[in-house]
Structure 1
Amino acid sequence: MKTYVKKTALISFVAAGLLLFSCSKNDDSGDDGSVNFSAENTARAAQADNVVEGSFNIMESGYVEVEEGRSNSISLFPNCTVITITPDGNGGGTILLDFGDGCQLNNGAQVTGSILLEYGPIDGGTRTINYTYQSFTYNNNAVTGGGVIVRTIANSNGNPQSTATENITVSFPGTEITATREGTRTIEWVEGVGSGTWADNVFHITGNWDTVFTNGFSRSGEVTETLVRKLSCIYLVSGVLEIQQEGFTGAIDWGNGSCDNQATLIINGQEYPILL
C-alpha cells in the first residue's frame, strides 16, 4: 500500500517520449485544399493536452482517495507514493502527493516530484481546491504551474464534477521549447463512482484552452465532442478538439474509445495521424 503521513490538527479529514507525427499532404495530387502547417508544433500541442489531462487525473485521484474515500480499497498509488495530509482544524487543509525521484503508478504512468493541494471546507456542496505542481514530471515531461478547482460533490447528473481554471507549462524532453496552456475545463466523473477501485474510473472533459509555445507557435482549442479519459489508460481515448492555428481551423480526433497511442489531425477533410 502507499504510505500515508498525517500531521496533527484538530480535525481530519493522471509512455513518454516526443510525439511522433506522420503526415502526407499528397503534394502531387493537385489538391488546392492542402494547408501548410507545422507538424512538429501540432504534435507537441497534442502531447501537451495529454500530459495536462493525465497529470490532472492523478491529482484529482489523490484528493478523492483522501477526502472523499471513494477509491481507497484498491489504490492508484503504489508504495513509492507518500501522501501527507495536514488538516487545518476548520474543515480544510492540504494534501501533498510526493512521488520522489521516480514512481510508476498502477496505471503505468511514470511520475516524479510532487503535487500540492490546498482547500477549504465544503460550502453548499462545493469546495475550492488550489493545486500546484512541484518539480513534477509525467512520463518524462516536466509540468509546472497549477490552477483552481471548484469541486462539486454531485452535479445535475448526480456525479462528482470539477470545474478547473489552469495555467500550466509543459516542458518536452529533448528540446528547450515549452508550452503554456491556459483555459477552463469541466471534468465529470461518469463511471466507477463508489466502486472501490480506480481501474474502472471514466471522466468526461469539456472546455476550451489556449496553448502558446516559446518558439512563437500558438493554438486555440475548444472541445466539440466530449473528451474521454479512462484512468486505466495513460492516453485520452476519444473526443474531438476543434483547433485554430496558423491561419486555419481543424480538429484533433482522439479515437473511438480504445486505449492506444493514436490520434488524428483533420484539416479540410484530410487526415494526418498523430502517434503519441
Structure 2
Amino acid sequence: MKKTAILLTSICATALLYISCSSDNNEKTASTDLSSIGASIAADTSTEMDINTSILISTSTSTTGKTAETAPGICATITVTKPNGEDYPKVFLADFGTTGCEDANKLTRKGQLKITLSGPVATPGSKMTIERINYSINNIKLEGTIEYTNTTTVAAVPQWTRKITNGKLTDLQGAVYTNSGIYSTKQTAGVDTPLVLSDNIYEITDGTHTVTSSNGVTLTLTVKESLIKKYSCLFISKGQLKVQGGILNGVIDYGNNDCDALYTYTHENGTSFNLSM
C-alpha cells in the first residue's frame, strides 16, 4: 500500500489535517477520524510534557515558600506554598503569563500549571496532581487534571499510574476533542541517579485512553506494545497503540526508538499513513 504523508505543525495542528488516501483498494478514510488520531497523540504528548515539567519544577524549585525566578529550562515564574504549614501537601504554581513564554524546547506556553504534591514523587503512595488553568502550548488550549500516583512495590523498579480526567484539547481552528484514560508506567533507566532526570527512561506497559471529537466520533487507544518514553525526548520513541473507533481499526507505531516526532498509522487493510507531530 502507498503511504500518505500528513504534516502537523507545532505539537499538532489538527485543524490543518487533511487526507488524500491513496490505498490500492480506494478504501475511504475520514479526515475527521485521522484528525482524532492526531488530537489523541497531541493530548497524550502534552500530558507527558506537563508531567516532565512538573517533576522538574517540584525537584528543583526552592521550598522556602517564596517566589522563585524559574526552574532550570522552565520559563515560568514559580510560587511554592504549604497550605497546612507542613512539608506536605506542597503546591507549586507555575505561571507562564497571559502572553506566554518560550521554554527550552522552543514551545510557547501560556497560562498556569498548578502542581500539588501529597509527598515526594519518588515515595510509594504519593500523588502529584496537575491542574491546567487557562493553559496552552503553541496556542493549542489544554484542559483537565493529571493524577500521577506512585504505585512502587519494588524499590529498584519505580512505578506510577497516570490518570487523565476531564481532558480537553482545542486546536488552532477551534475544534474540540475531549479525552480521558489511565496508563501504567515504570522506570527502566536512571533509577540509580535520582538527582539526574536526563537519563531517565520510562516504559508505559498498559492502559487505555479515549478521545471524542466534536462530531461524536470516539476513538479508543490501547497499549499494544509497551511505549518507550525517554525523559530527554519530547515524544514517545517506540511502541504501539491499538486504535479502534468510527471507521478506524488499526495500529499506531512510534518507530525504532529515535527521538523524533514521527509515527505511523496502519489500517487493518494494510494502508499506512506517515504522521508527524
**TM-score band w.r.t. shorter chain:** 0.7 to 0.9
In the alignment, the residues of structure 1 paired with residue 180 and residue 251 of structure 2 have an alpha-carbon distance, to the nearest angstrom, of 19
Q: Can you list the C-alpha shifts for 1:87-144, whole angstroms capped at 9, x where unaligned?
A: 233441211122223233334433222211223347x832133220112212332111
1:98 aligns with 2:95: yes
In the alignment, the residues of structure 2 paired with residue 185 and residue 76 of structure 1 have an alpha-carbon distance, to the nearest angstrom, of 27
* Correspondence for 1:86: 81
Moved over 4 A (4+): 19-23
Q: Aligned in 2, Cα 1:249/1:128: closer, same or farther, shift over 3 Å?
A: same
Are the counterparts in 2 of residues 21 and 43 from structure 1 also a CA contact under 8 Å?
no
Q: Can you list the C-alpha shifts for 1:219-247, whole angstroms capped at 9, x where unaligned?
A: 01111111122232222211111111114
Are the counterparts in 2 of residues 151 and 162 from structure 1 also a CA contact under 8 Å?
yes
Are the counterparts in 1 of residues 12 and 42 from structure 2 also a CA contact under 8 Å?
no
1:76 Cα deviation from its structure 2 partner: 6.9
Q: Aligned in 2, Cα 1:249/1:79: closer, same or farther, shift over 3 Å?
A: closer
In the alignment, the residues of structure 2 paired with residue 76 and residue 198 of structure 1 have an alpha-carbon distance, to the nearest angstrom, of 13
In the alignment, the residues of structure 2 paired with residue 158 and residue 90 of structure 1 have an alpha-carbon distance, to the nearest angstrom, of 29
* Correspondence for 1:238: 238
Identity of aligned residues (%): 22
In the alignment, the residues of structure 2 paired with residue 183 and residue 24 of structure 1 have an alpha-carbon distance, to the nearest angstrom, of 30
1:86 Cα deviation from its structure 2 partner: 1.3
Q: 1:36 aligns with which of 29, 45, 60?
A: 29
Are the counterparts in 1 of residues 47 and 146 from structure 2 also a CA contact under 8 Å?
no
Q: Aligned in 2, Cα 1:155/1:60: closer, same or farther, shift over 3 Å?
A: farther
Q: Aligned in 2, Cα 1:86/1:149: closer, same or farther, shift over 3 Å?
A: same
Are the counterparts in 1 of residues 222 and 241 from structure 2 also a CA contact under 8 Å?
yes
Are the counterparts in 2 of residues 120 and 127 from structure 1 also a CA contact under 8 Å?
yes
In the alignment, the residues of structure 2 paired with residue 248 and residue 80 of structure 1 have an alpha-carbon distance, to the nearest angstrom, of 39
1:52 aligns with 2:51: no
In the alignment, the residues of structure 1 paired with residue 237 and residue 136 of structure 2 have an alpha-carbon distance, to the nearest angstrom, of 21
Q: Would you say how many aligned residue pairs link Structure 1 and Structure 2?
A: 250
1:143 aligns with 2:139: no
Are the counterparts in 1 of residues 36 and 219 from structure 2 also a CA contact under 8 Å?
no
Which one-letter code corresponds to 2:189 in the other structure? E
What is the TM-score when the length of structure 2 is the normalising length? 0.77
For structure 1, list consecutive stretches of 5 or more residues without a partner in the other structure.
1-14, 69-74
1:271 Cα deviation from its structure 2 partner: 1.4
Are the counterparts in 2 of residues 142 and 170 from structure 1 also a CA contact under 8 Å?
yes
* Correspondence for 1:18: 13
In the alignment, the residues of structure 2 paired with residue 126 and residue 274 of structure 1 have an alpha-carbon distance, to the nearest angstrom, of 38
Are the counterparts in 2 of residues 227 and 239 from structure 1 also a CA contact under 8 Å?
yes
For structure 2, list consecutive stretches of 5 or more residues without a partner in the other structure.
1-9, 64-69
Q: Aligned in 2, Cα 1:161/1:171: closer, same or farther, shift over 3 Å?
A: same
* Correspondence for 2:182: 184
